[in-house]
Structure 1
Amino acid sequence: MTIRNLKQLFEPASVAVIGASDRPHSVGATVLHNLVAGGYIGRIFPVNPRHKMLAGLEVVPSVTRLPQAPDLAVICTPPHSVPGIIKDLGKLGTRAAIVLTAGLSSTHDALGRSMRDLMLAAAKPHLLRILGPNCVGLLVPGIGLNASFAHTGALPGKIAFVSQSGAMVTGVLDWARSRHIGFSRFISLGDSADVDFGDVIDYLATDPETEAILLYIEAVTHARKFMSAARAASRSKPTIVIKAGRAPEGAKAAASHTGAMMGADDVYDAAIRRAGMLRVYTTTDLFDAVETLARTRPARGDRLAILTNGGGPGVLATDALIGKKGRLASLSPEVLQQLDSFLPATWSRANPVDIIGDAPAERYLRAMEALLREPEADALMFIHAPTAIVPSAEIASAVAPLARQAGRNVFACWLGGDSVAQARSVFSQAGIATYDTPEEAVRGFMQTVEYHRNQQLLMEVPASPSDGLNEDREAARRVVRAALASGRGQLSEPEAKQVLAAYGIPVVQTRAAADVGEAVRCAREIGFPVALKILSPDLTHKSDLGGVVLDLETPESVEAAAVAMQRRLHELRPEARLRGFSVQTMVRRPEARELIIGVSTDPVFGPVILFGQGGVAVEVVADHAIALPPLNMVLARDLISRTRVSRMLAAYRHCGAADVDAICRVLIHVSHLIVDIPEIRELDINPLLADAGGVIALDARIAVAEADRRGVDRLAIRPYPEELEEWIAWQGGRVLLRPIKPEDAPQHVAFFNALDPEDVRMRMFVRMRELSPAQLARMTQIDYDREMAFIATRSREDGQPETLGAARVIFDPDMASAEFAISVRSDLKGKGLGWLLMNKLIGYCRERGADEIVGECLSYNQGLLALVRQLGFEARHAIGSDTMQLRLPLRD
């Protein structure tokens, strides 16, 4: 992750066009024309050895003859020339280039090296950043920069658009201009040889000219960088995504149910959700979402009240709402009574609230006031169809002030054309989200709901699992290592269950038997009834060949079933290897639901976890949801909630509610398992039975392979770094220094409340009485890949943990500079705890390769100044401020 030298790319003071031309319709001529015609105020240097003047500008014959190093170079020359040009630009001092040229990967030199690789090698010594190759270019309308060969320019605005597709760039430019939509940055990534989504998102997250980020994604190449950048950006700015390639045809077949069901688009959907972004599916939705999110408050929920002057539009809105999995709000008796007091006797007496077509402005106003007081409604939709009785503009003027000041979101739909144009304008000018049709209004409402849900996942403070997660990692590793040592790529069912049991996942008692006789002996030892399953590494679905028989009550029935299994295998799959049988206790739980939990390895995002309805028809039912690890209780519950089977986990008819916490714990165990043991490539638990008594795994499959990366490195999101935990002697006892966890939120609140008000001001530079939920989430839910917070913690006399101090650091996107902050509980200051935390933090920053640690404090914070000076920090007064700038160099 790096934004180094991206300022020169997006805010250049001068631009050189390498390969500028006057040849009609050439790229070089188009780029030069766009730069000049766009009104760019910086210097422009056309470069071409065959011209003296182009577009009224003096032409430079070569890069080496440029009078100065341009901030940005736009390269329009053939592939074989690009590496040399980059080398010359780097020596000159240019730090950003846009390579429009295509074909660099397929063009090679005499030694077989691609022009792409040679270009990157030439740029590396100079830290020269490259946008492209094979891109349309870059537009920054605010400074008149059109460094592209697009057919039209962009209007200034506050939206950044980033696209991998050149066709989408030109198409969206044309589409947006016709609708007067402007942009802060318009970026074509092309092949993303250097600058990619992660870099651009990091830059835009802190760009003051950008208020919303729109992404057109075809493929992500650096998953962790992308996820870290997206999670950081979406905390501060709406980040909205179109992901192309939703069709499942590209998915590969896999040996497990999970691999067979999971498509690449499912994984992207999970990543977008986990990053707190909003996914849409059309260009219109993309820009509508920006408009909607800009004009609405954060959503309160998915319950919608609908106010309409016609039954038909209300029904259309209801159909659209239910189709998008929203909910109609119930109307309380109090609100029904209020509405009854002034509405005609023929009103609907239900939601949607049809106040009849002859409704005057006063009726609209009173009905809206009543519905905005409805505690069961999270938002209100206002639908008006024009009539000849009351002018629409009159109604709009009457209700717009109330809608604008409402404590919840109001979505308006003015049906019609010219007759409602003025009304629509009144609402739009009042900042109220306004749409042409009920379906569009519902779509806008559900966009806010989905965006709010995704944002909540970033801000939620998860609870700890209700019981301990006892995991025997070494026992599980021994099973996996033994299988790999024997040359196998798949564990037997008993081995798979050993691994699950080692991680605290309840499994049915299972024995492996090499032959029929041993299967009978195992059944006797386990106790009848039993289930018998065939063991063969070549069978994906045992039941398809009659390889599973249940409820065997006698030794004779076990023997007969085993013999029959052998015969069927030899007849139907003579090439399949028979490894014996598994014999397991027959589980009878009549109220249990059959679930599946699985793991597959995505080539981009690494391991992903699947949850859904299980059983033999799992692929036909196709009820599943996907999440990226690591998981905690909040994320596990969210994963479960996104399936249809989640509704079956509640109590219904004769069945008691299933133990959802137990299911969540299994998901968390599986998350830990795939982090700890990178050799696990695929995993199925199917079925996992769940009822009021808990869960138990009846069948399991695990595929393994030698790991090419550590478990942590395979993940798109870095998990909790347990290896950084350290016990330290302190004040006659011991404290644990460790990274903070989301589950530390309650004790972090207690820690903050134990700080003196003056200590809070010293830390925050302002007086604060309490932490907001967003601040608490930001402090406890950190991205371990680009920030760290160490806490000092110990157990109180009642056994509950308490936080004594915290030191945190945030790395810049270049991983060069790290900004720190530290707090120690007020009653513990001066006891050496700050020294321990800062040494821990400094050691960590050195290990991560940071160049320096920086910070600031108030000039009269003598305690912190004394501490950091002892640690080797430089402290200097900030000019024109009462703060001190602190710096510790980490490299000689």
Structure 2
Amino acid sequence: MTIRNLDGFFNPSSVAVIGPNRHPASLETALLQWLAAAEFPARVSLVGLTAPSGWTGNSVDQLSDLATPPDMAVYLGEPETLPHTIAALGDRGTRAVLIPSQGYEAWPEALMQECREAARETNLRLIGPGSLGISVPAAGLDALLSADVPQKGDVAFISRSGAVLNATLSWAKSHHTGFSAVVSLGDRMDVDLGDLIDYFAQDYRTRSIVLHLEGIAIPRKFISAARAAARSKPVIVIRSGKSADAHSTGRTHAGNLATTDQIYETVFRRTGLLRVYDLDEMFEALDTLSNMRVPRCSNLAVIANGRSLASLAFDRLMDLGGTFAELSAETVSDLAELTRPHPELTMTPAVKGSLILQENLKQEDIARAITTVLKDRQVDGVIVLEAASAFQSVRTITEAIIEAAETDRRRNGRRKALVVGLAGSDGVIRAELTAAKIPNYQSPAEAARSLMHLAHDAQAREFLMVAPPSLPSTFTPRADKAREVVERALEEGRSWLSPTESCTVLEAYDIPIMATAMAETPNEAAEVSRRFLEAGHRCVVKLISPDLPFKSRIDGVRLGLETPEAVEEAAKELIARISQEHPEARISGISVHPMLEERHGLELYMGLAETPTFGPVLVFGQGGTSIEESKDISLELPPLDLHLAKAQIDRTRISRLLDGGPASPALDRAAVTQALVKLSQITIDIPEILELDINPIVALPEGLMALDARISLCHPERRPGRTGGSRLAIAPYPKEWEQTLTLKEDRQVFVRPVRPEDEDLFREFFEAVTPEDLRLRFFAPVRDFSHRFLARLTQLDYARAIAFAAIDPVDGRLLGVVRLHADPDHQTGEYAVMVRSDLKGLGLGWALMKLILRYAKSDGIETIKGEVLKENTSMISMCQALGFKIGTSPDDPGVALVTLPVTDLPD
């Protein structure tokens, strides 16, 4: 379940509080007091509770005495009787049950499962146990056990912790911040974060969502919901529990490096959430993003009436990763009479993005300066820093800022960020700025951090919409070859591949790796080294043991060996010493490979770690023997595309060395990026690979070369999932749906799921569609196929949406497309189909519709629906032939609503 019946919590038609109360009397008193004070407009009934003095609602002894069932119930009784009560409530039509308590409660899992099963029969929803309750100010509903009453507003706040919830409400009260809803989750017996994110993403009263969490129970559901929500409104997240995270003692570097909190950081970044690290920062982000959200905030400018104030802000912006605007010559010229000149020797990028105002300016001059900078096309966001002086009052400065903000709002719709740092401002002044929806602070550092929240939010949304380039068309993985090696090792009962087997797996995915030979004895090692030595290479010898995975920790490598005798001697020494120092360790043999002599190579690391919550995680960073000490790594979740891989590389310090320097050439960054994507594909194709180290993999001026690889195996335990790749936290590209369709006249088309890199394909397709066909598809004339428009059509979350592209196998052009987007409950999907205007009559539209029906049934969707203009008679005729029921949209009589149950369709 996801959002089904959640409206029973947030817009109930009636409420019943059900006893007898097992909690302290203070809980019942507080709950009934808040319910009464909120003036909930509908009926509130008490069941099995003594009505307090002055109670005006209904009061009965037992549930059966109620004339009508409650829409929502608040359960105060014993845990053991809850399953029976849930069943009775569900049978009578109750949609939601809240299970509050004064603090954290841990119920036995068997009891919670019994409750879930009782609720599932009637789709009744549960929040708790251990919840402080919920509050919906706009609905007049307050069933929240908190010290402060949430005020009406547009922020949805969901918290795992009662203490964090109470602290947030206290701050909100003093800052006049209101809420669309406040939810204390408790132990998540049923309703979880993914459900609530989906609900509030669609809630028109909610403009931003704030989450406090410690962990995520169902990762794919959370990631899918969070990504969808972040595209439409800000989602702020704070996670506690980093200090309590378990630390891995894995058998690979990847397993040791991928810490729990780093993985959560990766998840938040991938889904477009804005992460904050403490309550102060959460309040700042909430204050900023509840007032404004801008499309871009990359190029930042500072206006100040003191050079040191501006420097403090720029220093903080630099620390937080901000980039500075360079004010246009026109802006600088227009405001020259109002500013103090910069010393020529200090014209840094930061200085070029700042204006230092004279100290004696009038209100209209300050307003003009702010308005002019906001108008500059090279500026995305502005910090105004002012300190009152003998020549300027706080009142003058404040009114100038408000005037400029209002002018910008009228002219441009507030599309640029404006944040204020006003030293010496009192509560009245700050309240006026807040009322004008201008985030304001008392220090430059606070203002800078606030502006960076806007910048990071805008960057996260922009990152979600980037169209990645395609991998080279020559890349064709030989998955069968790699799988054969892995399956043979598992059949033999091995949990590690040999060095030569690891080479085979990487080579099957076009990841270059140094040719390696295995030897069981020192004499064999000398013999296999001859072919490398005769080719002019020196050799490297390594001891291989499944019990000693980290060769550098046991000094198990010998380099630069120039003769077979030297190889044999090194192998003997390694075996003898390791046998003495680690007598319990099994020695599999000795590996021998040529030594890479490239002078300009850079040692990197790539790996794969298996995590208990999020499944496989890709690790990239500095390679070599000190990888775990340097901790210069970044993480990413598969599947990867080239855009995601490039960003992962750029998050490391060592990535800067790829660009070369005065004495070294640039290295092949493209090859490194492609190798990460190929490693991601290995993860998807071969779930038996548990963990993997490639260390080092050397970036070269042309290409790259892996020198060592270790691959750990296990029989995969797939997580439940509707379609393939359930081991992954993010649904991968569903390659199994690629196929060839035969149309009329025996014409064949290749059909595959749409990919993010298809943006140009779609742009060309729409250019070949007539304006009339576009109008029939989109219900309005469409002329501008912007990146944002096309990204929404091509960048799909395969967990909840699919689109199939019909491709001409001759010229690669897009001929038609059909798509299906499931609702959050994954029960109903809305379809849309379009065929190139010059291809009608070939049966392509019919074939695509039949395909989407097959997909919907396989994916567990119960009903397909669509909206069709009634004048689009050809589409309506097709729907009738396919068995759709044709009705009229309740919102527009000119639109037909077509529906088809797919569960009964033949396979």
TM-score by length of 1: 0.94
Q: How many angstroms does 1:410 deviate by?
A: 3.2
The answer as to whether partners of 2:331 and 2:373 remain within 8 angstroms in 1 is yes
Structure 1 contact 347–354 (Cα < 8 Å) conserved? no
Counterpart residue number, 1:471: 477
CA distance in 2, matches of 1:15, 1:359: 61
**Stretch of structure 1 that moved more, 401-410 or 771-780:** 401-410
Among 848, 851, 854, the residue aligned to 2:865: 854
Partner of residue 672 from structure 2, selected from 663, 669, 686: 663
Q: How many angstroms apart in 2 are the aligned matches of 1:376 and 1:606?
A: 43
Q: Secondary structure at the match of 1:220?
A: coil
Whichever residue aligns with residue 592 of structure 2, its letter is: V
Cα distance change, pair 298–614 in 1 and its aligned pair in 2 (3 A): farther
2:158 equivalent to 1:162: yes
Q: CA deviation at 1:251?
A: 1.8
Q: Secondary structure at the match of 1:666?
A: helix
The amino acid across from 1:780 in the alignment is T
Q: Secondary structure at the match of 1:689?
A: strand
Aligned mates of 2:321, 2:376 — CA distance in 1: 21
Q: Percent of aligned pairs with the same residue?
A: 38
Q: Which of the residues 183, 186, 190 maps onto 1:190?
A: 186
Determine whether 1:813 maps to 2:790: no
Q: Indicate the residue corresponding to 2:449 in structure 1.
A: 443
460-469 vs 73-82, which moves further = 460-469
Match of 1:456 among 462, 466, 474: 462
Which residue number in structure 2 is paired with residue 740 of structure 1? Answer: 754
Find the counterpart in structure 1 of residue 570 from structure 2.
561
Corresponding residue of 1:621: 630
240-249 or 456-465, larger mean C-alpha shift: 240-249
Contact 2:339 2:358 in 1 (8 A): no
Matched, 1:885 2:886: no
Q: Given residue 902 of structure 2, which amino acid in structure 1 is its aligned partner?
A: L
* Contact 1:600/1:683, CA 8 A, preserved across alignment: yes
Among candidates 760, 764, 769, match of residue 774 of structure 2: 760
Q: Measure, in 2, the Cα distance between the counterparts of 1:820 and 1:875.
A: 14
> Could you give the per-residue CA deviations for residues 703-755 of structure 1, whole angstroms, max 9, x where no partner exists?
11111117700111101100011101224331012211111111111111111
Q: Deviations along 1:196-249, whole A, 9 cap, x unmatched?
A: 111111111111111111110111100111111111111111111011122375
Alignment of 1:372-771 (within 5 A): 377-398=379-400, 400-402=402-404, 405=408, 408-418=416-426, 422=429, 427-527=433-533, 528-709=537-718, 712-730=725-743, 731-771=745-785
Tell me how far apart the structure 1 counterparts of residues 22 and 798 of structure 2 sit (CA, whole Å): 52
- In structure 2, the partner of 1:773 is 787
Give me the whole-angstrom Cα distance separating, in 2, the residues matched to 1:75 and 1:855. Answer: 40
Structure 1 residue 567: Cα displacement: 2.0
* 1:45 corresponds to: 45
Distance 1:387 1:559 in 2: 82
CA distance in structure 2 between the partners assigned to 1:586 and 1:394 by the alignment: 72
2:849 partner amino acid: M
- The offset of 1:259, in angstroms, is 1.1
Alignment CA distance shift 1:247-1:103 (3 Å): closer
Q: In the aligned structure 1, how far is the partner of 2:610 from the partner of 2:708? A: 20
CA displacement 1:606-645 (0-9 Å, x = unmatched) = 1111111111111111111111110101111111111111
1:599/1:682 contact within 8 Å kept: yes
Report which stretch shifted further, 882-891 or 728-737: 728-737
Q: How far is 1:267 from its partner?
A: 0.8
Question: Do 1:736 and 1:793's aligned partners in 2 also have CA atoms closer than 8 Å?
Answer: yes
Match of 1:7 in 2: 7
1:702 CA displacement:
1.2
* Amino acid corresponding to residue 501 of structure 2 in structure 1: E
Given candidates 292, 302, 316, the residue that maps to 2:288 is 292
Q: Is the 8 A contact 1:32 1:46 kept in 2?
A: no
**Closer, same or farther in 2 for the Cα pair 1:152/1:176, shift >3 Å?**
same
Task: Name which of structure 1's ranges 304-313 and 527-536 shifts more when overlaid on structure 2.
Answer: 304-313
Q: How does 1:357-368 map to 2 (within 5 A)?
A: 358-361=359-362, 364=366, 368=370
Matches within 5 A, 1:15-164: 15-19=15-19, 25-48=25-48, 55-100=55-100, 114-164=110-160
SS in 2 for 1:132: strand
2:270 maps to a residue whose letter is: R
1:352-391 deviation per Cα after TM superposition (whole angstroms, max 9, x unaligned): 4463663424765676577557676543322111111133
Shift in Å at residue 68 of structure 1? 1.3
Partner-residue secondary structure (3-state), 2:525: helix
3-state SS in 1 of match to 2:116: helix
Secondary structure in structure 1 of the residue aligned to 2:129:
coil
Report SS of the residue matched to 1:715: coil
Contact kept, 8 Å, 2:43 with 2:58, in 1: the verdict is no
Structure 2 Cα separation of the partners of residues 50 and 336 of structure 1 = 73
With over 3 angstroms needed to count, the CA separation of the structure-2 counterparts of 1:465 and 1:437, relative to structure 1, is: same
SS in 2 for 1:750: helix
Helix, strand or coil for the counterpart of 2:813? strand
Matches of 1:629 and 1:54, distance apart in 2: 60
Cα distance between partner residues in 2 of 1:118 and 1:89: 15
Q: Report which stretch shifted further, 760-769 or 704-713.
A: 704-713
Cα 1:375–1:693 shift into 2, 3 Å: farther
Output one character per residue of 1:2-42: Cα deviation in whole Å (capped at 9) or x when no partner. 21111112110101101266997432332222211211111
Question: Letter of the aligned partner of 1:388 in structure 2?
Answer: A
Task: Quote how far apart the aligned CAs of 1:585 are.
Answer: 1.4
Equivalents in 2 of 1:296, 1:53: separation in Å?
46
Q: In the alignment, residue 526 of structure 1 is paired with which amino acid?
A: F
Structure 1 residues 21, 678: CA separation in 2 closer, same or farther (over 3 Å shift)? closer
In structure 2, relative to structure 1, the CA distance for the partners of 1:14 and 1:463 (3 Å cut) is same
Question: Against the structure 1 CA distance between its residues 187 and 782, is the aligned structure 2 distance closer, same or farther, given a 3 Å change threshold?
Answer: same
- Structure 1 residues 34 and 371: CA distance shift in structure 2, 3 A: closer
Moved more, 214-223 or 390-399: 390-399
1:254 aligns with 2:241: no
1:498-533 deviation per Cα after TM superposition (whole angstroms, max 9, x unaligned):
211111111111111111111111110123311111
- Cα distance, 1:396–1:106 mapped onto 2, change above 3 Å: closer
Q: How far apart are the structure 1 equivalents of 2:523 and 2:395?
A: 87
Tell me the amino acid that sits aligned with residue 497 of structure 1.
C
Give 1:706's aligned amino acid.
H
Can you give the 5+ residue segments of structure 2 that lack an aligned partner in the other structure? none
Aligned residue in 1 for 2:813: 802
- Contact 1:205 / 1:233 at 8 angstroms: preserved in 2? yes
Instruction: Tell me how large the CA RMSD over aligned residues is.
Output: 2.6
In 1: Cα distance, 2:130 partner to 2:747 partner: 62
What amino acid is the match of 2:766? F
**Secondary structure at 2:808's aligned position in 1?**
strand
Distance 2:679 2:497 in 1: 16
Q: Which runs of 5+ in 1 are unaligned?
A: none
AA in 2 matched with 1:703:
S
Q: 1:24 to 1:539 in 2, by over 3 A?
A: closer
Q: Distance in 1 between matches of 2:111 and 2:22?
A: 26
- The equivalent position to 1:276 in structure 2, one of 272, 281, 299, is 272
Q: Secondary structure at the match of 2:604?
A: strand
Moved more, 322-331 or 176-185: 322-331
Distance 1:746 1:342, change over 3 A: same
